[in-house]
Amino acid sequence: MNFCTLQRRDKLRVLLAACTIGLSAISIPALGATPVKGGTAVIATIGEPPTLDPMASTADLVGILTQHIFETLYTFDAKWNITPLLAETLPQISEDGLTYTIALRKGIAFHDGSAMDSADVVASLKRWTQTASRGKQAAALISAIEAPDANTVRIVLKQPYAPLTALLAMNNSAAAVMPQEKLATPLKEFIGTGPYQLKARVPDQYIQLVRYDGYQSRTGEPDGYGGARKQYLEEIRFAPVSNANTRIESAAAGQYDYVDSLSVESIGKLKDSRSEPALLKPFGWPRLVLNTRQGIMASLPARQAVQRALNEEDMLYAAFGNKEFYALNADLYPKGYPWATDLGKQVYNLGDAAGAKKLLDEAGVQDRTLRILTSQQYEFHYKMALVAAEYLKAAGFKVDMQVVDWATLTQRRQDPALWDIFITHSPFLPEPALIDFPSKDAPGWWNTPRRNQVLDAFNQASTPEERIKRWADVQKAVLDEVPFIKVGDFNALAAKSPALQGVQPTPWPYFWNAWKTVK
């Protein structure tokens, strides 16, 4: 490998590290705290996960739960740099950027006691390219996934693809490694290499994970999602609490050790309560995803009419209530990120009912019924949907609000015949390719010549400067073709018991390295 190639790679690593300017680093437990082994932590989640197959869903809830059971080749450290997990080291990449050679850690055992080797990894990665939206995103660019020997995997690309290692590191729609003998679609046995294994699942009551005694942690110290994964807790129970107000009241009462996804305006209720707030600032961005494949939103003028009709400021105020918890921003990344642009102002926060009606009339749109799919389990989704519905009605749309539980929403959004708009959110991610919209297979199914052109150019760019420039082209295509509409930026709130130590606010909270103090 020549010096120029090394220099280019170093710049790409610097670019990823630079994202930490805007993305909160993952904290590590304070020095001086003495971990205690044993006990059970009970975690209140926003509801029942639609699946425990980490490849089959991009839902954050699925990633939060399954990252304790399954592991990937890579993950992210406390500064959001990519770091090895089941891989021994970062991949060796050929000078032409087409061949990734990955050395595997030795001595890794699955929860069924079988030893992990390259055959398991190859089979898992092939399933990932067939099952997971992120895997399908990469599949068209992969010419081979093979095993030169029992401890090595090689991925050969058809063209350079800068986001590949980051995609392999994500915990939802994840390239999780499983025993090849247990692979099935749908997945029937949930066997991974993680620090905890599945013991029981009682729908709508709890998912019980217990310490896996055969776990082989990385050496050293914990480092974000990377580094050592300590198994202090004997058991972790995830309990679905779908009602947002119930989560707030249970947090104040100290009913759970950790309560995820609280409305930020409820932070006052945690004062002098039995739980303490865990605020992640900034967290991410909510968005309306539009069904570009089928129905009224398959029409570009109709999507542009929705874009013109909305008042995002009112949607954010309804959802969060306090400007300390949100910011108006049409661009996909806030200031401080290398990916930040200033392109969205002309089509953002317009609230222009007359202009939206004009677009619909000129396009000859007859049936103006809009089915908005949302859930009250993420209360801010629901509040934004209510405000959006009023602005869309003023623009001449007939709104059919479909309020379902989150598990049902994640199932229905897979069928383009069932919806026109759904509301979701994403944390700010260090690599734009990790956002689910670049995949043609993600619900919304954005697939146009312009989309393909700008994303191909972005993914093949070999220098940080070129990738930043190409990302601006992607953002412009999003604003023009409206596959989704960003509402703004927001912070996230959770609550935890003072007795639960070793847990810090993160986009996907994890409970290895956590312990409970003795009362």
Q: How many CB atoms lie within 10 A of CB 1?
A: 10
Residue spans of alpha helices (H) in 96-243:
118-131, 133-139, 164-169
Is the pLDDT assigned to residue 23 strictly greater than 70?
A: no
Q: If we measure between CA atoms, which residue out of 486, 457, 510 comes closest to residue 172?
A: 510
Question: From residue 8, how far is each of 13, 96, 351, 374, 473 by CA, in Å?
Answer: 9, 12, 45, 44, 22
| 210 membership: H or E segment, kind and range | strand 206-211
What digits encode the pLDDT tens for the residues 63-75?
999 999 999 999 9
Rounded-to-integer distance, Cα 386 and Cα 233, Å? 41
Q: Which residue has the tokens 């199914």?
A: 445
pLDDT of residue 263: 85
Is the pLDDT assigned to residue 44 strictly greater than 60?
A: yes
Highest CATH level, class, for 27-47+195-275+497-519: alpha beta
Q: What is the mean pLDDT of residues 37-60?
A: 94
406 Cβ contact partners less than 8 Å away, ≥ 6 residues apart: 46, 47, 48, 50, 59, 61, 242, 375, 377, 378
Q: Which residue has the tokens 């929403």?
A: 409
What digits encode the pLDDT tens for the residues 248-282?
999 999 999 999 999 888 888 998 999 999 988 88
Task: Give me the chain's average pLDDT, please.
Answer: 91
Residue spans of alpha helices (H) in 83-202:
118-131, 133-139, 164-169
For residue 519, what pLDDT band results from cuts at 50, 70 and 90?
low
For domain 283-490, the question of CATH label 3.40.50.150 is answered with: no
Amino acid identity for residue 388 in this structure: A
Task: Assign 223 to helix, strand or coil.
Answer: strand
Question: From residue 50, how far is each of 67, 89, 173 by CA, in Å?
Answer: 15, 33, 13
| From-to residues of CATH 3.90.76.10 in the chain | 72-186
Axis-axis angle for helices 300-309, 353-363 (nearest 10): 170
| From-to residues of CATH 3.10.105.10 in the chain | 283-490
6 Cβ contact partners less than 8 Å away, ≥ 6 residues apart: none
| From-to residues of CATH 3.40.190.10 in the chain | 27-47+195-275+497-519
For domain 72-186, the question of CATH label 1.25.40.340 is answered with: no
What digits encode the pLDDT tens for the residues 119-174?
999 999 999 999 999 999 899 899 999 999 999 999 999 999 989 999 999 999 99
What digits encode the pLDDT tens for the residues 319-363?
998 888 999 999 999 988 889 999 998 999 999 999 999 999 999
